[in-house]
Each structure stands twice: as structure tokens, then as C-alpha cells.
Structure 1
């Protein structure tokens, strides 16, 4: 972990483009960069508990949506016991100098990273209009889109950078802004 130079925490609503931005940065930065997802240890443990297909849970398809609400409730119960558990677990095998955490969803996630890694942590909020999210396939789901996993950071104001990602051109501009802001 001493080799980590920067940790970029990306937050945004479902279908905001978090994964697109993380994957595009990874392609640009190659081996210097590693994407970490807090959701991976959540989905891995959930798949093991219920004997589910992990690859399908990790995808962006209907299989994951079938289990999302129950998985959120279970992960919230685990966070109540140890708010840093999934963050810590996700960071176990990091090997790159730039780490992108592509799915920051809670104030406690940010708190964990700032307290653990200090000044190398930078926060990025991706905002997008709901109509664009709908065009990208988002459908509001009660118990998913109105709970902490989607809403806890709505009132958070201490972002290092806030970006609008309302179209493909915005995605390219977001990448440029992130690279300039964080010198990567």
C-alpha cells in the first residue's frame, strides 16, 4: 500500500457514468491504475451466502436487479456492525499507484478512505439529469433509489470536483477535467 500515490473516489447515482469514467481512465493509465469496487466484496459474500452466480451479480443486468434490494439491506446490516468492512475488504489486493474506487455511496465510505489514507484521497461527484439516466436504462425502484445506498451523499458538499455527465461529449470532458484536476 505504500506504493499508492492517489485514490480517486467516484460517486454518482445509478446510470450516471461512474463505471464508464473509471474504465476509460483505466485504459488511459494502464498498469499505473487499478479499479476497486466496494460492491465486489458485497456481491461476493452475497453470492456465497445464497449460492448465486457471482459473474451475473457483478454485471449490469437484470440478474443483479433481482437481488439488489435484499443485498442493500444485508450490506447495510453489516455496515452497522463495521462501517469500514467492505471498503477495507475491497482494498486488500491493491497493487497500482492510482486506485479508482468507482462506487462510493456513503459518507462512511469517504470517512474510511480519508481516515485510512489521508491526503492522497480525492473525491469526484458525477451528476447527471434524471432524463439522461432514463435514456441509459435507469428505472426508479423504491427501496433502491430512495435509500442510503443512493441518497446518503446527496447533501455531501466537500467534493474535490463535481462533473456533469449528461451526454457522450460530457464524458470525454469529464475525463479531461479529472486528469487535469488530479494531475494524472
Structure 2
């Protein structure tokens, strides 16, 4: 591990809960010159696209193209994780241009959270983004068997103590207050941040 961040904020949540939106707001509040948004799904999709001769850019957006391959991509990713639980985490943080604060936008499994807690023990802060199902549906969520009942969506529903929980139910004022509070408390909660 060459890069040592000052802070690692690990965000998790269900599909259409607003994880990327929350990460973007946090990065804007902290300052883009200080933080990097790190997607664990990006390296997974890139490797999957290369291995299966698919369009990586289309796998990264929220198109039907991605949905066609989602179930197979999940299985493929699970197989890779079984061989090496930290594989995609290491790929995600291998980028050269990472800044001092990492916002992991899409932790989906206990092994994702454990990787950062074990490797950046006193620097990792976990955040769970929750949204009511009706709100998620208004954002385009449709329950998909084999996806929404799989580990990639349910693996962090239990057994994890979250340092902070954000309820992202379309109340922008409350969300702004949560983000402001979170940005303030994270450095205070972590031991070695100056």
C-alpha cells in the first residue's frame, strides 16, 4: 500500500438510496482539492468489460445495457472476491491521482468495509445511506430478483456498526445538515488526523 490517506470515508446503501449524491455533496463540502471519490464498482466493471469484451462506459452509466449484464457481473465479481476478498478494493485505490481524503462511494460487502478498517484502522469512518423504498422507487428503483436479494445489495444490512447514518428521503435541508455535521465530526472521531 503506497498511498496513505488522512481519512477514508466508506459509504454504503441500497440501490437508488443516493450514495453517489451523498458522496458528491461531501466532496464539495470538504473541497475537491482534498478528496477523491473512489468507486469500488468501477474497477470491477472495467475488468468485467475487458474479460467479456463489453463497453466499459455503458457499464458505468445507469442504462439498460448495464442491467442486461448485472446478474452475471455480480456472480463474476463474487467469484473474484472468493479468490481474493480485497481484489477490487486494491484496484480502486491503485489510481495515481488519489488525494488525502478518500470517499469510497459504494461499499457493498462486509469484506469491503473490513478491508478499509483493517488497512486504515484509525482513519476509516463508515456511513450508511438509507432511503425509504417509495423514495427509491421514485428514483427508478425496481426490485430485481437475483440482484436486490443478493449479497451485493443485502450483505451490509446487518452485522455492521455504522459510524453515521444518513436518511436521504428527499428532504434537502435535512440532508445538507447531515452532510455539514458529518464533515465536521469525521476528523474529530479519527485518532491520527491533524
TM class by smaller structure: over 0.9
**2:168 alignment partner in structure 1:** 165
| 1:43 maps to 2:45 | yes
Match of 2:79 in 1: 77
CA RMSD of aligned residues (A): 1.5
CA distance in 1, matches of 2:180, 2:35: 16
Question: In structure 1, how many angstroms separate the alpha carbons of the residues matched to 2:100 and 2:166?
Answer: 24
Where does structure 1 lack aligned partners over 5 or more consecutive residues?
A: none
Normalising by structure 1, we get a TM-score of 0.94
Instruction: Tell me how far apart the structure 2 counterparts of residues 6 and 73 of structure 1 sit (CA, whole Å).
Output: 31
In 2, the alpha carbon distance for the partners of 1:98 and 1:177 equals 17
Q: In 2, Cα distance between the equivalents of 1:157 and 1:81?
A: 23
Cα distance in 1 between the residues matched to 2:11 and 2:93: 15
In structure 2, C-alpha distance between the alignment counterparts of 1:27 and 1:51, rounded to whole Å: 35
Query: Which consecutive segments of 4 or more residues in structure 1 shift more than 6 A?
Result: none
Matched with 1:26 is: 27
* Bigger mean CA deviation after superposition, 93-102 or 164-173: 164-173
Moved more, 63-72 or 24-33: 24-33
| Residue segments in structure 2 that go unaligned for 5+ positions in a row | 189-194
Paired positions, count: 184
Deviation at 1:168, TM superposition (A): 4.1
1:120 aligns with 2:123: yes
Counterparts of 2:134 and 2:142, CA distance in 1? 10
Distance (whole Å) between structure 1 residues aligned to residue 16 and residue 182 of structure 2: 19
**Is residue 2:62 matched to residue 1:52?**
no
**What's the CA shift string for 1:44-76, capped at 9, x where partnerless?**
011111211111111122211111111000000
Counterparts of 1:27 and 1:83, CA distance in 2: 31
Structure 1 residue 140, shift from structure 2 partner: 0.3
- Quote how far apart the aligned CAs of 1:2 are: 5.0
TM-score (norm 2): 0.90
